């Protein structure tokens, strides 16, 4: 393969790694917003929250660390579980900041 092909592969790989890192960070932020409500979820919610964080930061993964797809999956699964547990208990979930800003100005999304 030519040098240009290897450069293209490296650039595409780097962009993919950055996008998955951005997604993992975004899911982690949402998980921390939900952390404030852990007292209302119970022990299962705490296990899901801390288990997802430990899996995300431990160097042992299903996929190598530049590829954050498995970390994103674990964070998303924990977030879905915590959200479902909070909805079962009738807890009002906090809106993301972008939706809060739009609703305060009267903007419909």
Q: What is the pLDDT of residues 2-21, one digit of tens each?
A: 888 888 999 998 888 888 88
pLDDT of residue 85: 85
Question: What's the angle, vertex CA 72, arms to CA 66 and CA 78, rounded to 5?
Answer: 145
Work out whether the CA dihedral 18, 23, 27, 32 comes out positive or negative. Answer: positive
Task: Read off the tokens for 23.
Answer: 């997604």
Question: What's the residue count for the chain?
Answer: 109
In angstroms, rounded to a whole number, what is the distance separating the alpha carbons of residues 49 and 104?
Answer: 30
pLDDT of residue 45: 83
């Amino acid at each position: 393969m030519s040098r240009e092909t290897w450069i293209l592969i490296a650039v595409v790989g780097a962009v993919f790694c950055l996008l998955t890192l951005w997604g993992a960070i975004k899911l982690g932020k949402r998980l921390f917003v939900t952390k404030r409500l852990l007292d209302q979820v119970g022990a299962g919610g705490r296990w899901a929250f801390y288990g997802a964080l430990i899996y995300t930061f431990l160097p042992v993964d299903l996929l190598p660390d530049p590829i954050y797809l498995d970390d994103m999956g674990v964070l998303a699964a924990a977030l879905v579980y915590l959200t479902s547990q909070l909805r079962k208990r009738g807890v009002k979930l906090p809106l993301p900041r972008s939706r809060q800003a739009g609703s305060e100005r009267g903007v419909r999304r």
